[in-house]
Amino acid sequence: MPDDAPPSTPDPALPADPATEDGAARPDPAAPAALAARLAPVLRAWRRGRGPLGRWLAAVVVAGVVVLPLAVERGIEHARITDRVGTLPVEIGLAHNGYTTLDTGLLGQVYWPRTGPGGFGAVLRSTGPPLAGGTLASYVSPAFVRANTQVLDDPERLAATYGRELRDEVVAEAARLTLLGGVLGGTVLSVGWSLLRTRPRRRATAVAVVAGCLVGSSAAAVLEFRAWTGSQQVGRSFALPGGLGLSFSSPQTREIAEQVQPFIEKNTDRIQEAAARYLDAARTSIQRQLGARGAELAPREGETVIVAEADPQGSRVGTEVRTALYAALVDALPEGAVALRTIAGDLTSNGTVAEADFVDAEAQVLPDVPTVAAKGDHDTDVTVQQLLDADVAVPDTAFADVDTSDDLPALPVVAARDPAFKALFGGLVTNESGVSEEETGAALRQVVDDADPGAVAVVLHQPRAVTGYLGVPIDQVQRAGSPLTAAVDDGIPDLPPGIVTYGHLHDAAGPWVVWNTDTDEITWTVITQLGTAGGVEENPTFNRFSTPFSAPLKPVSTMLQYVDVATGLQTGYVPITLGLGGGVRIGDRVDLGLPLPAAP
């Protein structure tokens, strides 16, 4: 390692391995003997086991302990997860050379001297070109570098998230190999024990064999670990001036980084200052507006409230400001007034492993209120699992499994997952399901028709899915221009009564009321296009794009939907927006549908 390379230092925020001084794992010479002594009671239990099954199970446990060192080493060596870092698709594994490394392929490696417990760092290998370009210029343009560094504003948070995922991969692989080795080795041990029936000192022989195998397994694991490419020391590198601790395998890459570094630092500082000003202004406006008008937002007798959103799209600033907004809202409303929260897709910006903590924060924006989300085209199966882990329901063309029986008994919720995926800057749209958005919406309609729930709240992401659900183009509903509070024959076939909300376009529009007049009982269905709850630009370019940490580029938008508890029909709404300067605008309540009889 040359003098200009930064020294490898353990991360002070992460616990060091107490058994070592330099973070490198070393075997304890006394460990095999100690383990062998602990195995003696197991072997005695094996000998006393009732029947061949008991002896075999004991042998499986013993064999599992023997293969455990090799299983752990293999788990460390082969742990892999795939993700996207900004616009760059990567495969992430482990290393034990004192560095966390980004291997870009074409432009070489970037080294960061930070490690976690036991001296382990991560290796991020590029598996393809950026998803918004695909040429060499895509890698080295200042706009590309700025976009990716601003999306990844907090590498410590990113490292912690990847660390948890890699730990789970190691544990799962080690457990699999231990179980496999235990079953195979236990079978061999059982056969060997039977062959030793007539030999004297059978127990001593078995202990010696097991101890020898354990020593051999541990030694083999150490040798394999040392020979592993992830344990090899970093060769010559070129440090980036400025005390950031970064170094590069290529002097040309370092030169590029030196050129864009001041630009990145200047823009990062400006973005952070603008976000702080926005949040301060928003908090002040929230308290003033909710203090003055909070009582006006209370539901009428027999009503409850649904908080409806769409497209938070990874904005941490949007999440923070809505957390403050909803806390003030809950304080202003009667206790228990909010029965449900819905999110019409695109919770994340890129559907990555690294967005797990954002999803956790988003799930707690309105705590203690059941939340139902639809998967959007910026979300992935990873996002869906993160939401489920955070207790957010994400139905897959099905009714949501949430308990609103006390507050909203007459309005079950259904949702469907968008089948497509759209990359961060729109450079790639894929749909591997073979099912279109229209077909997804039509399938959801069939689920609702089969259940015939009376009224239903439908949560979808894209307008095309809504067209499939309605059975007519969404623009036909918009052109009909039906009155909001007077029943008419609008020429649209009757729909399941209730609510349909969608997002995707990042601009609020509607609501539109479809009147269901083909039977003696008149009901209505309210269809609403929601704006962006994160204030995110929906058509980003490298010169104008939203990041998780920047102030919104569009108004932050949410809506209060008032629902009659007895019928499940929507009876009104109030739009709430936060402007680009952080000022809150609470709209007047707009009534929907026909007057309903008062609850008895």
Distances (CA, A) of 598 to 299, 457, 566: 14, 22, 10
CA distance 452 to 447: 9
Q: Give the residues across from 124 on adjacent strands.
A: 92, 102
- With CA atoms as reference, report the closest residue to 373 among 404, 348, 354: 348
Give alpha helix (H) positions in 108-250: 136-140, 142-151, 155-195, 202-227
pTM attached to this predicted model? 0.72
Q: Which amino acid is at 358?
A: F
Averaged pLDDT of the chain: 81
Query: 3-state DSSP call for residue 520?
Result: coil
Q: Give the residues across from 340 on adjacent strands.
A: 306
Q: How many helices (H) and strands (E) does the chain have?
A: 13, 22
What is the pLDDT averaged over residues 263-287? Answer: 83
Tokens 């001593």 map to which residue? 204
Residues 6+ apart with CB under 8 A from 266: none
The answer to whether the CB of 87 falls within 8 A of the CB of 422 is: no
CA distance 350 to 334: 37
How crowded is residue 487: how many other Cβ atoms within 10 Å of its Cβ?
Answer: 16
Quote the pLDDT of residue 99: 78
pLDDT in tens, 464-487: 999 999 999 999 998 888 899 998
pLDDT in tens, 220-273: 989 988 888 888 888 777 776 765 677 777 676 666 666 655 555 666 678 788
Q: Give the residues across from 573 on adjacent strands.
A: 561, 590
How close are the terminal C-alpha atoms of the chain, in Å? 82
CA distance 458 to 306: 12
Least confident of 51-55, 344-348, 505-509: 51-55
- With CA atoms as reference, report the closest residue to 162 among 93, 225, 111, 228: 93
The DSSP letter of residue 90 is E
pLDDT in tens, 357-379: 889 999 999 998 999 999 999 89
pLDDT in tens, 323-349: 999 999 999 999 989 999 999 999 988
Residue 495 has pLDDT above 50, yes or no: yes
The answer to whether the CB of 447 falls within 8 A of the CB of 399 is: yes
Tokens 């709209």 map to which residue? 587
